Amino acid sequence: MQNLKKWKELEDAGNILDKGNNEENDVSGWRSFRPIHIREKCIDCMICWSVCPDNAVISGDGKFIKFDYTKCKGCLICLNECPVNAIRSEKEK
């Protein structure tokens, strides 16, 4: 626990002043299910990219590239929203 802040260094009430700071955290351990992309079915509509609450879908050139599994917490919103079932899930071991 060396990098954790002391109480006097904290914001009141635990308020978080910067945006998107969950990028610093590895949340892979939260996952019960892992989303898996099926390239053959994907139409690159990027709906998964826009609905993912943790920016865990990496895109490039307007196309789906990959999941960032350190940021993905396994909520499977992407799987639910994909219009062509191009995302399936696997139970984490």
Partner 1 sequence: MIKRVITGNEAVAYAMKQIDPEVVAAYPITPQTQIIEKYAEYYAKGEVSGELIDVESEHSAMSAVVGAAGAGVRAMTATSSQGLALMLEIVYIAAAMRLPILMPVVNRALSGPINIHCDHSDTMMAANSGWLQFYSENNQDVYDNCFIALKVAERVNLPVMVCQDGFITSHSIEDISLYKDNVIKKFIGEYKPKYNLLKKEITMGPFDMFDYYFEHKRKQAQAMFDSVKVIESTFKEFSLISGRRYDFFEEYKLKDAEKVIVMIGSTYGSARDVVDSLRNNGELVGILGIRVFRPFNFKLLKKKLEKIRNIAVMERYDPLSGFGGILFNEIRSSLSRNDIVEYIYGLGGRDVDDSQILKVFKEMNNGKELIRYVGVRE
Measuring CA to CA, which residue among 47, 52, 92 is closest to residue 76? 52
Between 8 and 27, how does the x/- string for binding to partner 1 read (CB under 8 A)? x-xxxxxxxx-x--------
Measuring CA to CA, which residue among 90, 65, 68, 92 is closest to residue 79? 90
Q: Of residues 42-61, which lie at the interface with partner 1 (CB under 8 A)?
A: none
Measuring CA to CA, which residue among 79, 92, 91, 87 is closest to residue 37? 87
Residue 4 or 40: the one with the smaller Cβ distance to partner 1 is 4
Contact residues: ligand SF4, CB under 6 A: 35, 37, 42-48, 52, 54, 56-57, 64, 67, 72-78, 82, 84, 86-87
> Which residues would be at the binding site for partner 1 (CB under 8 A)?
1, 4-8, 10-17, 19
